[in-house]
Amino acid sequence: MAHSALSQVSVAVPVGNDSSFRRPVFKAHTLSFCGTLRAPVLTLDLSTKNARSKNKYTICMSVQQANAPKVAVSPLQLEDAKEPPLNTFKPKGPYTATIVSVERLVGPKAPGEVCHVVIDHGGNVPYWEGQSYGVIPPGENPKKPGNPHNVRLYSIASTRYGDSFDGRTASLCVRRALYYDPETGKEDPSKSGVCSNFLCNAKPGDKVQITGPSGKIMLLPEDDPNATHIMIATGTGIAPFRGYLRRMFMESVPTYKFGGLAWLFLGVANSDSLLYDDEFSKYLQDYPDNFRYDTALSREQKNKKGGKMYVQDKIEEYSDEIFKLLDGGAHIYFCGLKGMMPGIQDTLKRVAEERGLSWEEKLSQLKKNKQWHVEVY
């Protein structure tokens, strides 16, 4: 679109406080509006080296977008690689990145604390959606005095462009691991998770040693932009799916125009524990034909038998649809604690048998077709 023939208006908009985002994703203060067509597209001006300091974004109207604003991403050469980057930095030679921000994601009634940690890697540790970073917490390994701690793996919760859309950051979704003495009920700091507490306590400017990226199991297949993707997460297992969904619905990626169905199931304890709920609710509003979002709140909802509602109960609720979608080639992903899988597998097996199918054969076929993706920890 030729901008020169269009009138432009600059207006101050408090984008960072937009209620549709839990975080100030856009740090701009000045926006330029250009054009008169519908459907705004946010484009980040990165044409100069000091673009980051300009804090200026342009909203351009484009007929190519459906109805919702999307953010243009840069640098676009991140789309050029044919294979995902793997282990660019190894444990013996990690990359020293910088903490940008740490923000609590959950409400006051959530059991435990989950933080969104944004890390600046300067564009030196690129990754694809669904990959993981390793983090080496500071200090020495108590089991191997004089040696650094072992690497802890965290699924990346952002797209390759990061939360600032410039390819310089990665975000992690981290649950603070605390240990409570079963007899006294008091917290024992000596047994707290070393890495999760380091990350949740980190301040902007702190340094962090990262390795990776690693992983190919959870990569988002993009050969068919109209495919169906069924995503099942418990807790911080939401991380890779947040990356997928931002790529599908938030970013304007020239090489990937998603037109299929993304169906997210998220299992957490209660409403206050929902992660990235504002983002997902916005996609639901903007893309009702392409996105479905179901939550299982174990402390607030009951399943059909009157017990606690877990993510496998939600899967059972929609099992007919899910099986039909899988028969049609849908991809299904699972991410979260290992403990989620037995219940899910039992549910799927029971549903398969009710349909006169052998679950073992069905699972074997899904794996053979590369439709089945599991990452649990």
| 155 is known as an active-site residue | yes
Amino acid at 321: E
Question: Could you tell me how many helices (H) and strands (E) the chain has, helices first?
Answer: 8, 17
Cβ within 8 Å of residue 43, ≥6 positions away: 57, 58, 59, 60, 71, 72, 252
Quick one: DSSP state of residue 253?
B
| 293 is known as an active-site residue | no
Amino acid at 152: R
List the catalytic residue out of 251, 279, 316, 375.
375
Helix pair 340-354, 359-368: axis angle to 10 deg? 110
Report the C-alpha dihedral over residues 367, 370, 371, 374, rounded to 10 degrees.
70
Cβ within 8 Å of residue 112, ≥6 positions away: 106, 175, 176, 178
Sheet holding 251-252, edge to edge: 8-12, 30-34, 56-61, 40-44, 71-72, 251-252
| 60 is known as an active-site residue | no
Determine the Cα angle at 109 with ends 105 and 111, to 5°: 75
Cis peptide before 213 (omega within 30 of 0): yes
Question: How many other CB atoms are there within 10 angstroms of residue 174's CB atom?
Answer: 27
List the catalytic residue out of 62, 101, 155, 273.
155
| 335 is known as an active-site residue | yes
Question: SS3 of 178, please?
Answer: coil
Question: How many other CB atoms are there within 10 angstroms of residue 268's CB atom?
Answer: 27
Question: SS3 of 228, please?
Answer: strand
199, 72 Cβ separation under 8 angstroms: no
List the catalytic residue out of 95, 154, 283, 310.
154
| 283 is known as an active-site residue | no
Question: SS3 of 116, please?
Answer: strand
110, 269 Cβ separation under 8 angstroms: yes
Q: Catalogue the active-site residues.
A: 154-155, 335, 375, 377
